[in-house]
Structure 1
Amino acid sequence: MKIAIRHQCDDFDSYRASRVKSLFNVDSGANFNLDIDLPIDANDWQIGVVVGPSGSGKTSIGSAIWGDGAIYRPTWPANTPVIEAIAPAGSFDDVTSALSSVGLGSVPTWLRPYAVLSNGEQFRANLARLISEAPERAVLDEFTSVVDRQIAQVGAGAFAKAWRRGKGQIVLLSCHYDILDWIKPDWVLDSGTGEFSRGWDRPSPRIDVQLWQTDWRHWPRFEPHHYLKMPKMIAATNYVATVDGHLVGHVGVSTRPGMIEARASRLVIMPEWQGAGVGIRFLDAVCDLWARGENRYGKPMRTLFHTSHPGLAAALRRNPRWTQVSANLVGADKVRCMKSMAKSAERSGAGAIGKAGYGGHFRAVQGFRYMGDGD
Structure 2
Amino acid sequence: MNINIHHQCTDHDSYRSARIKSLFNVEQGANVHINADLPIEDDDWQIGVIVGGSGTGKTSIGKKLWPRTPIHNPKWDKTKPIIDQIAAEGSIDDATACLSAVGLGTVPAWLRPHHVLSNGEQFRANLARALADEPNRLVIDEFSSVVDRQIACIGANAFAKAWRRTKGKQAVLLTCHYDVLDWLQPDWVYDTSKSEFTRGSLWQRPPITFDIYQTNWQFWHLFEPHHYLKMPLMIAATNYVAVVNGKLVAHIAVSTRPGLIEARSCRLVVMPEWQGAGIGMRFLNQVSEHWLNAENRYDKPLRTIFHTSHPNLAAALRRSTKWTQISGQLHGGRASRSTTAAGGKYGGHFRAVQGFRYLGASCD
TM-score normalized with structure 2 length: 0.97
Match of 2:239 in 1: 238
> C-alpha offsets along residues 4-25 of structure 1, whole Å, 9 cap, x if unaligned?
1000111122222222222222
Asked if 1:271 corresponds to 2:259, the answer is: no
Match of 1:213 in 2: 214
Q: How large is the Cα RMSD of the aligned pairs?
A: 1.4
- Report 1:195-344 matches (<5 A): 195-334=196-335, 336-337=336-337, 341=339
For the residues of structure 2 that align with 1:370 and 1:54, how far apart are their CA atoms?
Answer: 50
Match of 1:44 in 2: 44
Match of 2:164 in 1: 164
* Structure 1 residue 323 displacement after superposition: 1.0
For the residues of structure 2 that align with 1:243 and 1:373, how far apart are their CA atoms?
Answer: 23
For the residues of structure 2 that align with 1:252 and 1:321, how far apart are their CA atoms?
Answer: 19
> C-alpha offsets along residues 265-289 of structure 1, whole Å, 9 cap, x if unaligned?
1100000000001111111111111
Structure 1 residues without counterparts, runs of 5 or longer:
none
User: Partner letter of residue 149 of structure 1?
Assistant: R
* Structure 1 residue 44 displacement after superposition: 1.2
Contact in 1 for aligned 2:289/2:361 (Cα 8 Å): no
For the residues of structure 2 that align with 1:17 and 1:40, how far apart are their CA atoms?
Answer: 40
* Structure 1 residue 68 displacement after superposition: 6.3
For the residues of structure 2 that align with 1:373 and 1:246, how far apart are their CA atoms?
Answer: 27
Runs of 4+ in 1 over 4 A off after TM superposition: none
Match of 1:357 in 2: 345
For the residues of structure 2 that align with 1:272 and 1:31, how far apart are their CA atoms?
Answer: 42
For the residues of structure 2 that align with 1:164 and 1:117, how far apart are their CA atoms?
Answer: 27
User: Partner letter of residue 52 of structure 2?
Assistant: G
> C-alpha offsets along residues 35-76 of structure 1, whole Å, 9 cap, x if unaligned?
111111111111110000000000110000012643111001
Contact in 2 for aligned 1:264/1:304 (Cα 8 Å): yes
> C-alpha offsets along residues 102-156 of structure 1, whole Å, 9 cap, x if unaligned?
1100000000011110110000000011111110111000000010100000000
- Report 1:105-184 matches (<5 A): 105-167=105-167, 168-184=169-185
For the residues of structure 1 that align with 2:146 and 2:316, how far apart are their CA atoms?
Answer: 29
User: Partner letter of residue 258 of structure 1?
Assistant: G
Contact in 2 for aligned 1:79/1:113 (Cα 8 Å): yes
Residue 146 of structure 1 aligns to a residue in which SS?
coil
User: Partner letter of residue 283 of structure 1?
Assistant: L
* Structure 1 residue 360 displacement after superposition: 2.9
For the residues of structure 2 that align with 1:52 and 1:197, how far apart are their CA atoms?
Answer: 13
Match of 2:20 in 1: 20
Aligned residues: 362
> C-alpha offsets along residues 308-348 of structure 1, whole Å, 9 cap, x if unaligned?
001111111111111111111111233x42xx64xx97xxx
Q: Name the stretch that deviates more: 291-300 or 20-29.
A: 20-29
Match of 2:186 in 1: 185
- Report 1:68-107 matches (<5 A): 69-107=69-107
Residue 268 of structure 2 aligns to a residue in which SS?
strand
* Structure 1 residue 357 displacement after superposition: 2.7
Residue 70 of structure 1 aligns to a residue in which SS?
coil
* Structure 1 residue 358 displacement after superposition: 2.7
For the residues of structure 1 that align with 2:136 and 2:94, how far apart are their CA atoms?
Answer: 18
* Structure 1 residue 203 displacement after superposition: 2.2
Contact in 2 for aligned 1:184/1:199 (Cα 8 Å): no
Residue 27 of structure 2 aligns to a residue in which SS?
coil
Contact in 1 for aligned 2:2/2:37 (Cα 8 Å): yes
For the residues of structure 2 that align with 1:273 and 1:333, how far apart are their CA atoms?
Answer: 35
Asked if 1:374 corresponds to 2:355, the answer is: no
Percent identity over paired residues: 62
